Amino acid sequence: MRKKPPPSPAPAPAARAAARAVPEWLNSPLWSASTPSAAPDPYGADLSPPPPPPPKPPPPPSYEQAVGSSRRVEEEEDEEEAGGGAALRAHLLADFKLALSKKLVNMGELRRLACLGVPDGGAGVRPLVWKLLLGYLPTERAFWPHELEKKRSQYSAYKDEFLLNPSEKIRRFEELKLLRKKELNTDNIGLLPRSKVTNEEHPLSFGKSSLWNQYFQESEILEQIDRDVKRTHPEMPFFSAKTNQESLRRILIIFSKLNPTIRYVQGMNEVLAPLFYVFKNDPDPSNSASAEADTFFCFVELLSGFKDNYCKHLDNSEVGIRSTLSKLSQLLKRHDEELWRHMEITTKVYPQYYAFRWITLLLTMEFSFNVCIHIWDAILGDPEGPPDTLLRICCAMLILVRRRLLAGDFTANIQLLQHYPSTNIDHLLHIANRLRGSVAS
Amino acid sequence: MVLVLALGDLHVPHRASDLPAKFKSMLVPGKIQHIICTGNLCIKEVHDYLKSLCPDLHITRGEYDEDARYPETKTLTIGQFKLGLCHGHQVVPWGDLDSLAMLQRQLDVDILVTGHTHQFKAYKHEGGVVINPGSATGAYSSVTYDVNPSFVLMDIDGLRVVVYVYELIDGEVKVDKIDFKKTATMHA
């Protein structure tokens, strides 16, 4: 990426400046979020001689070429009228449809297309693409109906098992055992018959195995889920609809019961929202009707890569959120040491102040909803997998505003990063792409 | 699934000092949605304690209650059921099921909860069900000294009620349950 000049005994100003210099392509005004200012770069990148061209990282050639070529085409067309852009989108949509119509979907091809982003007007395409990328649907088309059927009925079983309150559960249990042969609906007048309560199965019980006790202990989590669901994207009418809120609630409750180690963590509702939105708005009515079941499994799949970030006990371990944040730090250091030094050492803006939300919420709160869905196309589509891709995008977000960060102090930088400015997403994803290579551990 | 606690005739401090410890340990806030109390608490402290268990508290006046503002009878609707509440000393003969049935028809309720006799009873007649939660402290009644502390917790779920009866017998809490369903004929 960037070669350091050989250390000299008495570092001359030029050499020192060269050590802090930044690769040519990073300084191009095309990548900067803010308008290029008239003032010269205070860190002397303009003054030092350009460092030797960095060796390119070795990506799979076909991928890089394909992305590179598309990008170049898009850049040229940026100057032309919007008509050119529309043609490109239509072409991309056709490519998607072609890839999806094959009997055996080529995942490599699909991932390549996904990283370009599903174009607008692809409402029917995106749910299918995401389901394939998350491994919910197998690659052989022929197996789709069977798989969907299996998964959706499994979700129904989960609903029955986890969503009943103790009254209903006990009633079902008794009905199953036909205990109440003696019809309660008797018109007999007289003292009502009493039956013994077994296993401490009464509402005030503190017994470990009591359904009631478990119910009341979980009620706190249920309340938290309830509150968060009601607060999800209040500006969007889609999420104010009671039925949709109920669906989100059910998915989160079942997830929390199936995953006792992480239960429910605030913010999972935000990660769930785009998935559900995309699947529910599938133009195919049968898919839309089963959106809840599909979303559940895709949510599980998506979170599986990030699970360790949510587990409190793993916070300080090698796999928890702190370690992820330090990976981000290392990534920044590898690709832009100057910025890293300024952030971590000079202004002490550590990743936990801004990147915590970026990572645990998968960037859903940093960009507008539609932009976020576009970024998720890339996160889900990238062959490196969502966790690594997310880190690269976070790093790219920092690099994109490097000029402002370098000029800012602690307060200004925190302000900037916690309210990330809207940017050109294609540029952002392009930079993230250029940071490819193994994520430093 | 609505949990309703029915209790009464505590007679604190005149005849008993407090609820039995085993009952108190079970009654924690946050589980119960409504409390209906037949009366004879008798002092404000008991009222405050019940209020701490659940904010939705309904009380009717017993003959020894110090707060004269409680009503003689009360009706409320919980889910599909109409409940009526009355202390029961007004209904003579005390504890007579036919007379209570008359009161029930007057109040036009599915379930009538009364006390005064300090004896648990759950009785069904054409007009509905009468439940007497007994005395929660085991205080002696006008009729007998032999009283086991008891109270009732109703789980109202749609058209079905499961009544859990908690009694303190020989120092141990015994729980029984009674099931009944509301039918169309129960209410003329």
Chain B residues in contact with A203 by the CB 8 A cut-off are 3, 31, 153, 155, 164
A232/chain B closest Cα distance in angstroms:
26
- Which position has the higher pLDDT, A9 or B26? B26
Q: How many CA atoms lie within 13 A of A316 on its CB side?
A: 0
Residue B185 has pLDDT above 80, yes or no: no
pLDDT at A54 over 50: no
CATH superfamily of A312-435: Ypt/Rab-GAP domain of gyp1p, domain 3 (1.10.472.80)
Contact assignment for A195 to B177 by CB distance below 8 Å = yes
pLDDT at B25: 92
Least Cα distance to A201 among A192, A210, A193 occurs for A210
Report the first-to-last Cα separation within chain A, whole angstroms. Answer: 17
In whole angstroms, what is the distance from residue A31 CA to residue A402 CA?
Answer: 10
- Range list for CATH 1.10.472.80 in chain A: 312-435
Sort A46 into a burial class: Cβ within 10 Å, 0-12 / 13-18 / 19+.
exposed
Smallest Cβ distance to B175: which of A166, A191, A202?
A: A202
Pick from A254-263, B112-121, B148-157: least confident: A254-263
Residues of A in contact with B183 (CB under 8 A): 185
How far is the C-alpha of A431 from the C-alpha of A425, rounded, in Å?
A: 10
- ipTM, 2 decimals? 0.82
Tell me: the pLDDT tens digits for A22-32? 666 666 666 55
Tell me, yes or no, if B179 comes closer than 8 A to chain A by beta carbon. yes
| Mean pLDDT, rounded, for B132-158 | 91
Cα of B68 to nearest chain A Cα, Å? 32
**Residue A178 pLDDT class (50, 70, 90 cuts):** low
More confident residue, A404 or A81: A404
Give yes or no for residue A305 having a pLDDT over 70. yes
Banded pLDDT at A40 (limits 50, 70, 90)? very low
For residue range A327-381, list pLDDT tens digits in order: 888 888 888 888 888 888 888 888 888 888 888 888 888 888 888 888 888 888 8
In CATH, what number is assigned to the domain containing residue B55? 3.60.21.10
Q: In angstroms, how far apart are the furthest CA atoms of chain A?
A: 106
Q: What part of B 18-37 touches A (C-beta under 8 Å)?
A: 26-28, 30-31
Give the integer Cα–Cα distance in Å for A98 and B76: 65
| Contact with chain A for residue B157, Cβ under 8 A | yes
| 0.95 surpassed by pTM | no
Residue B168 within a domain: yes
Q: Locate CATH 1.10.8.270 in chain A.
A: 143-180+206-305
Q: Do A216 and B178 touch (CB under 8 A)?
A: no
Q: Taking CB atoms and an 8 Å limit, are A167 and B157 in contact across chains?
A: yes
**Tell me: the pLDDT tens digits for A407-435?**
888 888 888 888 888 888 888 888 888 88
**Within a 10 A sphere around the Cβ of A36, how many other Cβ atoms?**
12
Does a structural domain hold residue B186? no
Contact B164 A180 (CB under 8 A): no
Instruction: Give pLDDT, residue A46.
Output: 38
Q: Do B153 and A204 touch (CB under 8 A)?
A: yes
Q: Kindly report the three-state secondary structure assignment for every residue of chain A.
A: CCCCCCCCCCCCHHHHHHHHCCCHHHHCHHHCCCCCCCCCCCCCCCCCCCCCCCCCCCCCHHHHHHHHHHHHHHHHHHHCCHHHHHHHHHHHHHHHHHHHHCCECCHHHHHHHHHHCCCCCCCCHHHHHHHHHCCCCCCEHHHHHHHHHHHHHHHHHHHHHHCCCHHHHHHHHHHHHCHHHCCCCCCCCEECCCEECCCCCCCCCCCCCCHHHHHHHHHHHHHHHHHHHHHCCCCCHHHHCHHHHHHHHHHHHHHHHHCCCCCCCCCHHHHHHHHHHHHHCCCCHHHHHCHHHHHHHHHHHHHHCCHHHHCHHHCCCCCCHHHHHHHHHHHHHHHCHHHHHHHHHHCCCCHHHHHHHHHHCCCCCCCCHHHHHHHHHHHHHCCCCHHHHHHHHHHHHHHHCHHHHHHCCHHHHHHHHHCCCCCCHHHHHHHHHHCCCCCCC
Using CB atoms, which residue from B122, B164, B179 is nearest to A203?
A: B164
B162 within domain boundaries: yes
- B177:A187 CB<8 A: no
The domain in which residue B134 lies consists of 2-181
Q: Could you read off the pLDDT of B44-72 as tens digits, one per residue?
A: 999 999 999 999 999 999 999 988 899 99
Non-local CB neighbours of A273 within 8 Å, separated by 6+ positions:
A232, A233, A239, A248, A364
B179–A184 CB contact, under 8 Å:
yes
Predicted confidence band at B85 (pLDDT cuts at 50, 70, 90)? Answer: very high
Cβ–Cβ contact B172 with A under 8 A: no
- Interface touch A180/B179, C-beta < 8 Å: yes
Pairing type for strands B34-37 and B57-59 reads parallel
Please tell me the distance in Å from B33's CA to the nearest CA on chain A.
12
Q: Does B101 touch chain A (CB under 8 A)?
A: no
Average pLDDT over every residue of A223-244 = 90
Domains: count for chain B: 1
CB contact under 8 A, B124 and A166: no
Measure the CA–CA gap between A212 and A220, rounded to whole angstroms.
14
For domain A143-180+206-305, the CATH class is mainly alpha
